[in-house]
Chains A and B, each alone.
Chain A
Amino acid sequence: MSRTQHSGEGRIDGSSTGTTRESDAAAGDPVDPDGPLLQVRDLRTEFRTESGRVVATNEVSFDLDRGETMGLVGESGAGKSVTARSIMRLIDSPGEITGGRVVFDGEDLLAMTEREMRGVRGNRIALVPQDPMTALNPVLSVGEQIVETITHHQGKGRKEAREQAIEAMREVGIPDAADRIDDYPHEFSGGMRQRVLIAIGLSCQPDLIIADEPTTALDVTTQAKILDLLNDLQEERGMAVLMITHNLGVVAQTCDTVGVMYAGNLVETAPLDDLFERPNHPYTRGLIDSIPQTERTYDELPTMDGSMPDLLDLPEGCNFAPRCPHATEACRTGGDPDLEDIPGTDARAACIRTDEIDLSESTADPVDGTGRDAVDRSGEPLFEVENLKKHFSAGEGLLDSLSISWDGGPSIDRRSVKAVDGISFDVYPGETVGLVGESGCGKSTVARTALRLLEPTDGEVYFDGEPLHELGSTEVRSLRREMQMVFQDPGSSLNPRKTVGRIVGRAMERHDIATGEEKRERVRELLERVGLSADAATKYPHEFSGGQQQRVAIAHALAVEPRLIVCDEPVSALDVSVQAQILNLLNEIQAEYGLAYLFISHNIGVVRHICDRLAVMYLGKAVEFGTVEDVFSPPFHPYTESLLSAVPHPDPTRETDRILLEGTVPSPVDPPSGCPFQTRCPRKIGDRCETEVPELEAVGDDGHVVSCHLSVEEMSQRESFVATEENPAASD
């Protein structure tokens, strides 16, 4: 079909970004001022890899109108980022754009010279990248990075450009913009840096903004603020926005139309409400269904079987057929279906059966399950943590943590990071207790310190009555058998140089559970129990997908027959549809083996379905602790309240009443006086919050405790976030 030619001005090194000189482009559609701003037709981008050519963007076509916000949704590897970057021709070797047209405001971007393209980038189409921590040049001031865009594209003088930059910073909500314009990126928090990135994007008043996962790297509360900001700015300026994300909740709040990508193909496009009300592609249906809803209770979380295929090994026929509950023989053999209009709607879908099947109903069980079994708390708790503290010395090495200040004379003090500053909880056999909080609250540190992977600075930890904090190292080592851990990143928690069988088997050997043939037999059984095949034992970790690796990690944890497993964000690094599979597996295993779990997560929505009791953490302390129903219902700690309200729901019809927090999380090196939350609390009373540290006090009879100076009535002003007996039709 199309041949690639290297055209136009090259880079300093003589190469050029891959372009096509399609004869079609010249004979393209006439310029239509009322037409779509962006018309993508049959865009195709390929990558050369060691094992062959991979088509990351496969003949993608869609339109975007002026002022419209379109969400491009898909799981990791689906090709949405590549598509977005292809539009801006930011694809570099070993990738190249091998086909299609991208008509922006009447001109085909793929036919432009590199020089012309440079005039478009940053000026008429701007990119807001994903990771605010790495996307800013650390050695240039923030202002410089905005100003250079302005001077380059608009030819203005430095002074004028500087004024414009300060204005841009103000518009995105950066306080004290005029003072901070010469600051460096590392002097800003993550959320602020993201605002800077947005300011850079807006600085030349582009017609189109491509936002690549703009909030994924941020905490839920910050995310909410940034999304609101994007919405406001877009309304004011009438820009078009192409929002890349994997989070349907974000889409529901911000987008007008949605495109769904799967394994390189665009499989559905539709206006927002239509998409959620009546999806036209089975994958979209599955995606919407696999997001657990906060107000419902499930016996088993809804999932999709399997996972997205490797782009090197695509199935014949429709890419989704192997996982599709509606697939027929024709689907499996026919090749990728074309994206076609659905008559009577503004939607398109790539499915040959779309007119036959009705996807408007969720495939998840409409009846609420009974949820989790009641936990028997009549006996002694299995695991008790009392007033645990863990302080680190700041900086590296002995000398680094000393801070020398000149206050009339030199003085030296030791700085410390108070990662965990007094937390207490317990876990009963068969129970799952959750620790929830945003990044930096100390939840991971709590887990590690409680297991004595780190030495506690203070506090007590009891496992089955044994004082873990006092035992010698040999005793601790033998007790390790009872307490295991599943880590967040399965890729690094498995030794890359050992086979899976050895990793799982080693644990058994170490605690003398089994050796030789018996060990191998058990390893095989365990691998099958966690959903892998027995021959996985001879493979290396990198040969598995993320979800499968996590299954191996679970098998490893189970190998020693523990009684407690600490799960540290075990699903955060996984795709949405895989998350539910792993969570279901964990629940099954818990029921079968009678295990207790300590579950750590920043995602309060996930936690709701897997935990019995829940502690909300902020700056090293627990601010609320109780059963899931209690924590999700009034009375609320103000932080819990804002956390819960910030979770984006994948339901566009839902109005949310979000509480947005001012400022950012204080540094644990220098925590605020009094209540740790007082610097940001929207319900702050006054002096009392600044001087007195609130204690955890009971607010119900069920062991529900909250640490706040507000009265119970004052804390109960919102409705519950879950359906309870008193509140069956919950909404916020």
Chain B
Amino acid sequence: MSMFNYLVRRLGFLLVTLFFVTLITFAVTNVLPGNVALLILGPNASEQSLEALQQQLGLNQPLYVQYLDWLADLLRGELGQSLRFGDPVLGLIAEKLPRSLLLATAATLVAVVLAIPLGIISAVKQNELPDLGASLFGFVGVSIPIFLWGLVFILVFAVWFDLFPTGGYVPPSEDPVATLTHLVLPAASMGFALTAYIMRMTRSSMLEVLSEEYISLARAKGMTERVVVLKHALRNAVIPVITVVAFQFAYAFGGVVVLEEVFFWPGIGRLTLTAIQSRDIPLLQGCIIVVALIYMLSNLAADVLYAYFDPRIRYGGDE
């Protein structure tokens, strides 16, 4: 039952953190009531219209009341109306979110497929050429801003070589193949940026595990190096890597804000940007909360997977 225990505890943490998230969101977007109305209506708005808007938005009430009202709405799933589009925020988000999820998942997949084998090789051939080469690759990946990767990829593969479209999105219901071709460049640009951390984590985790006493014993038992690395070491090493992968998935969600702009990908990132540019506070709040929630859930998923693979947590046991 200790897995159950563990999960419940983690959920508890999540709720507490979520509470703080709402606090921060609210605080950041509602610093001064006067400014909010001003932001929305612009500097040329009349006193009256400012007043009216403030009334309407309930901005004249004390902050904590506003917060509680807002929180109550939030819990009911009521995210308000978009000021710019006039549509319910929830609906807008529900429409755009899956596309971002698709992009982030594809990018993470690319990263994992590249990073883990590279990480293993780096660890096993520590300090030799493959290690240095892989590190270099990872380094460059992480040192170039995501949007630059995107632009360069577009320039090279879409413009010069005309292999892929320069941007845009095609829903799978229309043409799944097109969805994929449109997905390649953005997923690859983001994927490259994600690779470095996963690879580095795999490498350092493998190195640490390879120096453990039980690896030494496995060799002393006469096991081949292949068995030692893939069976004994990897299974241990991969556990912390899972957390990094989940973290990178979440990082991808930060990246979408910028990347969707580059590739004209109509996901939640572009929606957030639009909200910012239009000073669409309700939409912005909705987007922030949703993104933060996804982030936290992916961390929770990481913990669950971690617990599942590490028998010490799964089966518990009093040490």
Contacts and interface: CB of A to CB of B under 8 A. Distances in A.
Check A-B contact in the complex, CB < 8 A: yes
A179 interface: no
Nearest to A183: B315
B224 interface: yes
Contacts of B95: none
A399 B312 CA distance: 19
B9 interface: yes
A364 to B, nearest CB: 38
A121 B221 contact: yes
Contacts of A399: 9, 12-13
B219 to A, nearest CB: 7
A184 B124 CA distance: 27
B221 A122 contact: yes
Nearest to A134: B213
A118 B318 contact: no
Contact of A118 (B128, B222, B239): B222
A371 B53 CA distance: 92
Interface string B144-177: 0000000000000000000000000000000000
B222 A123 contact: yes
Contacts of A11: 225
Interface stretch (B86-94, B228-236, B245-253): B228-236
Contact of A404 (B5, B128, B219, B224): B5
B125 A14 contact: yes
Given A11-B225, A137-B236, A148-B223, A670 B318 contact: yes
B115 to A, nearest CB: 19
B310 interface: yes
B214 interface: yes
B232 A135 contact: no
B1 interface: yes
A121 B220 contact: yes
Contacts of A403: 5
A13 B233 CA distance: 14
Contact of A139 (B1, B221, B224, B235): B235
A152 interface: yes
Contact of B217 (A135, A153, A186): A135
B212 interface: yes
Contacts, number: 113
Nearest to A118: B222
A120 interface: yes
Given A12-B124, A139-B309, A399-B9, A200 B225 contact: no
B222 A131 contact: no
B47 interface: no
Contacts of A135: 213-214, 216-217
B205 to A, nearest CB: 13
B125 to A, nearest CB: 5
Contacts of A141: 311
A117 to B, nearest CB: 8
Interface in A105-142: 117-123, 126-127, 129, 131, 134-141
Interface string A1-20: 00000000001111000000
Given A136-B214, A152-B223, A187-B317, A13 B311 contact: no
Nearest to B220: A127
B124 A138 contact: no
B218 interface: yes
Chain B at the A interface: SS class: helix
B226 interface: yes
Contacts of B8: 404
Contact of B4 (A138, A148, A404): A404
Contacts of A140: 231-232, 235
Q: How large is the interface on A (under 10, 10 to 19, 20 to 34, 35 or more residues)?
A: 35 or more
A197 B216 CA distance: 13
Contact of B319 (A136, A149, A186): A186
B317 A186 contact: yes
Contact of A12 (B221, B225, B311): B225
A90 B12 CA distance: 48
Nearest to B5: A404
B100 to A, nearest CB: 32
A405 interface: yes
A11 B227 CA distance: 11
A540 B240 CA distance: 35
A127 B214 CA distance: 12
B311 A139 contact: yes
B225 to A, nearest CB: 4
Contacts of B124: 12-13
Interface string A646-689: 00000000000000000000010110000000000000000000
Contacts of A129: 213, 216-217, 220
**Which of A88, A118, A136, A667 counts the most B-chain CB atoms under 10 A from its CB?**
A118
Nearest to A136: B214
Interface in A179-210: 184, 186-187, 197, 200
B232 A667 contact: no
Contacts of A670: 318
B111 to A, nearest CB: 24
Interface in A481-527: none
**Which of A136, A148, A670 counts the most B-chain CB atoms under 10 A from its CB?**
A148
A197 B213 CA distance: 12
Contacts of B5: 403-404
A118 B310 contact: no
A90 B231 CA distance: 19
Contacts of B309: 139
B128 to A, nearest CB: 7
Interface string B255-267: 0000000000000
A380 interface: no
Nearest to B234: A139
Interface of B: 1, 4-5, 8-9, 12-13, 124-126, 128, 212-227, 229, 231-232, 235-236, 239, 309-312, 315, 317-319
Given A129-B217, A129-B220, A148-B221, 11 more contacts: A12-B124, A13-B128, A14-B125, A127-B221, A137-B236, A138-B214, A139-B236, A184-B317, A186-B315, A186-B319, A399-B9
10 contacts: A13-B125, A13-B225, A119-B222, A126-B221, A129-B213, A138-B310, A140-B235, A200-B221, A402-B9, A404-B5
The 7 closest A-B pairs by CB, nearest first: A122-B221, A121-B222, A122-B222, A134-B213, A12-B225, A127-B220, A11-B225
